[in-house]
Each structure stands twice: as structure tokens, then as C-alpha cells.
Structure 1
């Protein structure tokens, strides 16, 4: 029984329509599910991914109109990376960012890979990371109907950056999940401690978490442009229930089993306050709509279907039909 890598990352937006435009038309990801936040059905939950929304490719967003901007600080998921096939793809993305007015930094080397640091329109800190020399967790396959050519398209989620004040606490939680230390690399900010790179399972960019110790920042205040939680891949419900017992024995309070319909989940906060999720690889997003039309209409899990009329009445219209 092992955590296999990163399953999905869930961030926050204050503008679902602008978010949809950027992630589908500029970044070329596929909207694979338009649903609601099951804990607050007045908010959309949008899932972007590869052609099928395979585990490890999903960048998702809760839509909270009017929410204030995210304030960078400790106790946060401060960097999300998106994989591309090779170094050649980075040249394409530089030109695309120029064309669309995206704020970005030149190609550079970071953690043994060539990367481009950039921001979305709400200031979320993102990275395009090359898989030129990557081994480990397999990447996804970009959607062939994307505005970005398949050869340059985003293939999944890469390393996640966590910014914390007390790294030893986060490291202990990751070790419970099976992560081991890969290396230490120089800090991104002068005068701070080295970044600790952890990996799990097959390793590679799809199974890597980077711990950034910072003593110069306040505690984060989550808002639009910030990340809500990171989810890690496990196989099935049986493993999920076993992980609940492991976390209980380790003294880490957790949600226990949670039915999300498209996958099954468990949530807990590591001691620095970052929300972790364990999520099963299945059943997947084609469970309740055809693969060809994923994300084009509002999908609700069966346990919310009887509330569809009231849920739709409380949501702002979001046109996603292609």
C-alpha cells in the first residue's frame, strides 16, 4: 500500500468565467468536470486536466465570487507546476505567454529541470516544468481539441511547493505517507534555508513535493489566486480506509472516508496547517457523462441531484459548451 504521487491540486478563484477562459484558451487544458463544491453548493468546482482528467493531471478550482486576494505566507501551498513533454515545449510557452500577456520569467534551471515561472490572472504562482529527463510517474495525454498543439500541451501536475515555518513537522507527515528525501537545493529567497525535495512511489515530477522553509513571512491568508489543498493518489477505497487507521495511530485527526462520487477521499491537516487529501484513482469523470462532452454541462453526484433546481438557481451562469 503506497501513495502513488500527486492526484490533484485545488485552488481558489473569484471569477469562474475568467478562470475558464485562461485555463482552457490560454493554457489549453480541458475542462473535464463542471460541478459544485460539495461542502458549499453555492460555489462551482471546476476540474481541468488532460484528455480524460486522469489522476495526476487535475488542477481544480473553487469559485468564490468576491473573495479577497491570496496573501503569500507560511502554512501554504505556494507553487503549482504543470508538466510538458520536453525542453522544446518551453520555447513554445514563452512565445504563447508573450502573445497572451501572461506575466512570466525567462526559462531557468530549478530542482534539476528547466522551468518557466509564471502567474495566472489572479496571481496564482505557477510553473511550466519540462519532463525532458524525467522518469517516474507517467504523464497524461493532452486533449487533441485543445488550442495548444498536443506536442506542447500540458501533460499533468508536476512538483508542488509548500512554504512552512517549521519544516520538520511537514516532513514528518510526508514520511508517514511514504515520502523520502531526494535532495536539498538552494533557497529561492536569499538568506533562507535550503528547499527539501521529497518524493514518493515511482518518483519523478508527478510524485514530488518541495518544502520551502521561510522565517520571513506571516501566516498565509487564503483567497483568490491561492491554493486550498493538495491531494495524493491512492488505489482504492480499501486503501483509503487503511490510511485512516494509520493516520489515527499517528495522532493526525482526519475526516475519515468521504464520498466524492468521482473519487473517494480523506482529509487531514499536517502540523503546519496545510490541508492534505488522499484520493482514489477512480471511478473517474466519465462516470456520469460521455467522454466526448466532459465539462459541457453541470454535473452533480447522485446525492445532490434532488437539489439541482435550487443549486442551479444559486449559481451564476457559466457557459462551457464547446
Structure 2
């Protein structure tokens, strides 16, 4: 038994071509709270936008980098291919299908997998998303819908569900997910295998898709950069740093992100995972009412504010639905 099991999803970070377009989708359409408008700490000419539940609960974060001059990604195998958002029940999927139709967002018909209904859709960059019904779900609790969204609370997104990881080498990925990360295999459906950790449920699940018949994916906008898994604090993070080091996978070691601490590791070719702490959180340097409106920088970047702001394309993130 692993001493400090992973708790489930922490956040997922994707790449977008336009910061304004992704804000409009995530906040104006999906009803998520832009709780932090900041920059990629490793590439400060790039926005890092954090969309969450009302208060920035770990496990509800969908975040985006907007690298200048990046080319579109090419889908294939060896990529994190889809992220899912949890909604309260099957009836909510009907609401979301109508809303996506009204906004002209491309989507597939609702269907079922692993006993839960879902609705797949994609954005203008071709990034793949899923709305996943929690009707038959138990386990890790969801968050609280953003109070300023125009999405009714009983239909709103409450957090992240499983990501889907598409790989050519299923045996290797199974070993990493189960032996290293401590997930347990729950079910299989064709090329897809469902895994779960901790308290279980959609917020603690991961799906691996085996596809050795596709060319390798090429990274670019419209793709997921990395998926992050939740751990409690600095102490438990150090446990995972040591554990991953023992497995000799390529890794970053400890990284201070100010809003959380983390470690990155290469789970498989082209598959970047992160272990991230649940805190200290996003409201330590600004008030709830101002969150996401102004560019915030961690203290170690504040001295570079003028040059950072000069290099970024301004975006209007002041919208509130109600």
C-alpha cells in the first residue's frame, strides 16, 4: 500500500491559440471562474489562465498556456487526448447540448461509457473535451459552481473528471499508472481501460486508450500540455518526488509555483504528468472580487511586471454573467 495515495485530479493544462477566445469559451459558455490571470513561470511571454469552480478548489482547475506563434497540434498516439468536466446528472447533459448548439460549438451525440453518460465537444482549436454526468457517481466530491456564472447551479460544471491518455505502449502505461501511481484498474471497454485512486469516482479516475495504429502526435495548440494529480501538501509531495526518483523516470524535482508546489515527470513518451499540492491556493494575493480581472504575478516575477505586461496581448476578463 502506498503511504500517501494520490487524491485524484488537481488540474489539467492545455494550449490555446487565443487567450480571449479561450476565456470566452471557459467563462462565458462553460461558466467557469477565471480565478487567476497570470503567466507561465517558465515562459513569461505566455499567459497562464486558471479556470476553476467558485473558489479555486483543487480538482476543478482547467488551465491554459497561450504560447506566441505556436503552431497547431497534430493529434495521434502518445498524447493526453481529452479532458472531462463533471456535471450533476443526465438531465444536465440535455441543457448543455442545447447551450452548445446555441453557441455554435461542435459536439457529438450524448453516449455512455463505463456506466456514465457523456457529451463530447471541441473548441475552435480542435481541443477535445467531455461533459460527464455524475448521476451514478460516488467518491471525490465536486466543487461549488461560480456564483457569477449565468449557468444554473443545478446544471453547472462542478470539477474535472478523468483525462484520457492515448498511448502506443499500453503495457508500459499500465505499469506506471498502477505500480508507480497506485491506481487500480476498474474496467475495460474495447481500447479503453478505466483506472481509479483514493476515494474513487469521476474526480479520481483516469482512462488509458491503446492506439498503436496511429502516427505520433505533434504538440501544439489545441492539445493538452500536462495533467496534474492531487496531493495534500509539501510533505506528501516530497514522498512522490522520492518515489518517482526511485522509478528513474525523467522528472523535474521540486518546483515552487507560489499558488501550489509540484513536480513534473515523463510518464511515457510525450506524456507529461505533474503531482501538485492542493494549496496554498489562488486567493492569497488578491480578493475574490478582483480575481481573474487583473494580471497577477508571483513575488519572484513582480520586478519584471512592466516588461511582462508589454509583451502580452491585452484580454478583457472582466465579464460576469450575473
- Give the TM-score normalised by the residue count of structure 1: 0.96
1:33 to 36, 56, 63: 36
Match in the other structure for 2:188: 184
How far 1:27 sits from its partner (Å)?
1.1
Q: CA deviation at 1:267?
A: 0.4
1:93-137: CA deviation from partner (whole Å, max 9, x where unpaired): 011011011101111111210000111121111110000010011
1:9 aligns with 2:1: no
Equivalent residue, structure 2, for 1:310 = 307
CA contact (8 A) 1:139 1:156 kept: yes
1:190 maps to none
1:171-320 pair list within 5 angstroms:
171-175=174-178, 176-186=180-190, 194-320=191-317
SS at match of 2:10: strand
Query: Residue 273 of structure 1: CA displacement?
Result: 2.8
Q: Once the 2 structures are TM-superposed, how far is the Cα of residue 253 of structure 1 from its aligned partner?
A: 2.6
Identify the residue that residue 191 of structure 1 maps to in structure 2: none
2:94 alignment partner, SS class: helix
Q: Provide the rounded CA distance (Å) in 1 between the counterparts of 2:104 and 2:245.
A: 48
Q: Is the 8 A contact 1:235 1:280 kept in 2?
A: yes
Distance 1:91 1:21 in 2: 21
- Looking at structure 2, the residues matched to 316 and 290 of structure 1 have their Cα atoms a distance apart, in angstroms, of 24
Q: Using the alignment, how far apart are the partners of 1:68 and 1:174 within structure 2?
A: 30
Q: Deviations over 1:232-253 (max 9, x none)?
A: 0000011111211111111123
SS in 2 for 1:253: coil
- Displacement after TM superposition at 1:152 (Å): 0.7
Gaps of 5+ in 2: none
CA deviation map 1:134-155 (0-9, x unaligned): 0011101111210211111111
Write the distance in 2 (CA, Å) between the matches of 1:65 and 1:272. Answer: 25
* CA distance in structure 1 between the partners assigned to 2:90 and 2:23 by the alignment: 27
**Is the CA contact (8 Å cut-off) linking 1:170 and 1:272 kept in structure 2?**
no
Q: Is the 8 A contact 2:45 2:68 kept in 1?
A: no
Residue of structure 2 in register with 1:53 after alignment: 56
Three-state SS of the structure 1 residue aligned to 2:15 is strand
SS in 1 for 2:289: helix
- The SS at the match of 2:283 is helix
